[in-house]
Structure 1
Amino acid sequence: MTTQESNKKIVKEYFDLVSEQKLSEAFVLLADDLHWWILGNIPVSGDYDKRKISLGFKMLQRNFEKFTFLLGEMTAEEDRVSLIAESKAVRKSNSKLYNNHYHFLITLRDNRIVKVKEYFDTVHAVWVEEN
């Protein structure tokens, strides 16, 4: 298996574990010095380390029913994986359907995710938070 194939497999495994709500297992795939950046200027935007992004994913599971990622195209080059994905969930507080679309640019090192740039529809994210 090439490095690129291995990296794609790790990325797929991470998002599959998150979708299966196996967060502890998913977080093992994150490097201790992880840097996760989220697009925009909404409350979830900005820079995250491993602890902070782990808390964020736990909050998603608490606030949404069946938060699931549907993985689309993946392209790997050198130490990076580009992933197009979609999420589906229902917000528990207001029953709104959360169906966002993403581009993740993920860098791996030593079989761990070390850097993520996350792009998504921030307008939709804010809308689903409103009552």
Structure 2
Amino acid sequence: MFSGEYSPPGGLRVIRANRNPPVLALSGELDLATVQRPVDAVVAVLTQPAPEVLVLDLTGLAFLGAAGIRTLLATQDHASARGVGLRIVTGGNPVVERYLSVAGVRPVFDVYPDVPSALAVVDKGSFLDVAEGAWTENS
């Protein structure tokens, strides 16, 4: 069930699923011509009673430009300032993985391989528990 879908001519779709936490799925191109759509969607989510977590699903992106990277960083800052955790889903998308790595920003984000994984971590404390468990298992 979706509460909003935006399809600008620049080729980016933003779909907001009605769920808790909210998931914004982006598909197409995230560049200078299209960044306003996800910005508007994020602002709409964060101006309501803010959720604990916002999930951005980037699995469907075909292109991620520098303006898209800046938008992701600004979204992280905006969410953090409101006490909202931002989770990025890459789905193993090589375009997204490559640009996050090349830009040197992948470590800045809380990245997940798929939406169910991003939703499975209940809160920040749970994330730290999961991360610590993974760290100690591999040590």
Q: TM-score, normalised by structure 2?
A: 0.27
* Bigger proportion of residues as helix: 2
Q: TM-score, normalised by structure 1?
A: 0.28
* Bigger proportion of residues as strand: 1
Higher relative contact order, chain-length normalized (CA < 8 Å, sep 6+): 1
